[in-house]
Each structure stands twice: as structure tokens, then as C-alpha cells.
Structure 1
């Protein structure tokens, strides 16, 4: 028995070592691209052009970030991005939660029909031209702040996620509240929403990332209200190398499009990295509970 127990323990140890090696490999594969981007953003542009396969800056410099911040006014676009992200996330989560609650109601006769119609929009759309005409001519939202909010107010995937989570809640809670005289608004606000914190945090993260990273809506509809992502996109497009090969001083101040692109990537990523740890616990819970049903 002792020898058999020793063999089992030995096999368990070997399995643990194998899993450890696999996890270390996954961590390396996951972290390397980010560390590479971070290193290039802080590395000398001329050195970067020679070889970009490294994870620490070989010739540390702030010139890439100096170029991004000093050559451009980023305060107003940054403020616009924060405002659209906050407003868009709050309104988007609220609207999505209300629609999901209605679709989860068993006494709503058309819930299956509306669910099918919503899902169809995930696979079929009117196209860019009808969307452009609708937003600019019909709704007249061109260069209006609401162009950042209304078109993306509801995402069908998020509706399905929240509805699935609500379906998993005990229906007895809603029935007991209704017996006590509560209407749908009270049930939604005081019973359903507090229990949906994990999935709401998950949806909030999805919407916030989408709002923060979006720049095509600015490019198409609201160039008079530029966001940080749009300005960074323009900087990246304009970044060129203007170097006289016979001028050593110019070589020191040269700007590499690759270096600027990586610096912009870090600038755009940091705010989300700061927010994510606060929502991680809810994010994992919302994805594992809300995604088990359709």
C-alpha cells in the first residue's frame, strides 16, 4: 500500500511540474507582446529600427512620449474620451439591463420574437452608407456629442448576457415581491439589479473598452469633437522619419513611426489596465454565470 501511495504521489508531482511548465509558457507568451511594445515605446528610435525583438529598452529615452505630448494638444481629446466613456458606459449598461429584463419576463408574450430580431442584427446589418445617412441626415447627429452615445447604446451580445444571468436567478424572489405589491420597476431596481452586479460589471467593462478605443465614429461623424483615440490615430499616421544621414544631431532626435505607434499603444492601454483590476472579480463571475445559457 505504501509503495502504491508513493507511486501515485510521484505521478501527481510529475503532473504538477508539467502544469507549472505549461503555465509559465502561457505567461511568457501572454506577457511578451506587451513587454515588447513597452520596451519599444521607451527605446531610442534609431536603435528600434535595427532590431525590435526585445523586452527591455536597450537605449532608454522619453523622446517618443515627448513627441506625442509636446507636439499635440491632448488635454481636450483626453477629456472628451473620458466623458464619452463614462456617459456611454452608464447609459449603455442601464439601457441594456432594462431591455434584457423585459426579454427575461416570462409573461412578456413577444420575448422570443424580439430576441430573434435582436440576434438577426448581429449577423445582418444595413451597411455603412445607410448608417451614415441615418446618423447625419435623418437623426442629424453629425458633430454632436450624442453621436458617441445613441448609435452604440445597446449591444445585442450584452443583452443576451444579462438576460441569461437574470434567467438564472430564482424566480421566487420576483414572485414574492409581486405578491407584496411591487411593480416591475421596483422589482427591476431593488431585486434584479443588485443581484446582477457581476454581469453588469462585465458588460460595463465591455462597453467602456469599446467607447474608449473607438475612433471611427469620430472620423466619420464628429471631427469637430475629437477624442484621444482619433488624435493618437492622426499622430500615428503623420509620424515620419525626417533624418539627414550626415547630421548626427538629427539622428539623435529622429522619430520612428514604430516607436510612436508603440508609445501611442501604451497611452491608450494604460487607462483600461487601471480600471480592469477593480472589475476583475465581477468580470470572471459574470462571464462564468451569465454565459452558461443562451
Structure 2
């Protein structure tokens, strides 16, 4: 008998797009499946929209307090009955055959395999594949690289053997952003992960500003990631440089000039030839 797949869709104030996500799951040829929509205390018509789809495979769970995507996904994992867990952000959509391809990969690979993730394209930025053709299907070998530096990908692309969360742990609910980066790194460190080069997901970028994580969590998130992963990130200077520059942008957007300059300075020390880091610091200081 085919294995049950549980598709977890966390959502927050995305009544306008969540139907598209759910219908892309219902259109999959793979059976059996269950769809668990976890509403993270939305203030819009999400409940009515989901209820209006009237499909027995859909389970709706309403959280009483908004705690972020990590907490919503954990609620879904704990409620899931499937052997395999797939995720889908409420503004993304599966392409035909996505779930079936991942289950077939699990069946063909070693029983130790814990994660199968697919290639995808971004809608709203461009429609090119996220992973170029030179990255072929195969097991993930990161070497000294930080896992997310090579295989940065969204949870919507994943299918995870549910039992793997026992060893890797659940999503870190202290992270309001980058919780996927943290979870992916932990999974890859704990279980064999396999990449499918087929484009089987559309990731919509900036399609819905509702549900966007507030800037106030950026500093907390960045510091927590560094606390957890800095020793490993230091072995991958290119990734750490990108991380510091991303944090600098977040701090500047939040009006925290001093901390933005600190992250730019750390980025510059990693790559002294990037004189633009110094220029950005000067601009921030003058703006202040």
C-alpha cells in the first residue's frame, strides 16, 4: 500500500492566495495524502476560504496566537499521520507530479534517506531554475561548505521522512525568519539528503506582503543563527560574507545604523577587496 504523505501548509493572513496552494496539492496524482492547513492566528478570511474547498483530505488547524512559520509547521508535524512530510508555503504552488516524484525517489534510494528536495523556479523575480543544469540529481555532499550555501532552498521543495524529526528536532520556534536554513542544516547533518533536479515547484516572490515577518525580528534571528552555526559558517567564508551583508541590510532597514555598520565591518574583514563595504558604512553614518 502506498505511504501516506502529509502536506503541511502554514499560513497567516493569506486568504487571497492560499486557495492556489491547496489546489496545487489536490491536483497531484499521488494518493494517499492529507493536507494540514495551519492558520497562525490570521485576521482575514482564511478559515472561510479553506472551509469553502470542502475536501475530506483537508484538515484545518487554527492557532490562537501568531508565533511564526516555525511554530505553525511544528503544529502540523505533530498532527501529521503520514510516513512522509511535505511542506508548502501558502503563496507557493506545486507543479504536477511533485509528490509522486519524491515518493518514488524515497522508494528507490537507501532506506536511510531522510530528505528529498526538488528544483524550483521563482515567479515574480524570474522564471529560471533555482539550481543550474550543472547541479545534477544526487545525494548532497557539502564538504566544508555550510549546507545552505550550496543548496539554499525553501521548505516547499522538501519531503522529509517523518521519523527524521526525532533525531534532527523540530523547527526552531525562536527563529521568525531563516528557520528553514536552520532546519535544513540540521537535517543534512543528521540524515542523507537527495536532490531532484526536476523543476517541480513554483515559488512566488513578493506576491503577498501580508504575513511578511516584521523587521523587528531580524536582529534576534541573525544573532540566534550566529550563536548556533558560527563555527561551521566560519569554514565557509563566502556564505558568511553573504550572511553578514544580509544582516547589515536588515539592520539598516530597521533603523539600527550602529549594528548595520558592525555587520558591514565583519563582512569587509572577510573580503578586504570589497571596498564597497566601507562605502556603505560611510553612507549609513552620514545618514544618521
TM-score by length of structure 1 reads: 0.20
The structure whose residues are more often helix, as a share, is 1
**Rg larger in structure:** 1
Q: Which has the higher contact order (CA 8 A, sep 6+)?
A: 1
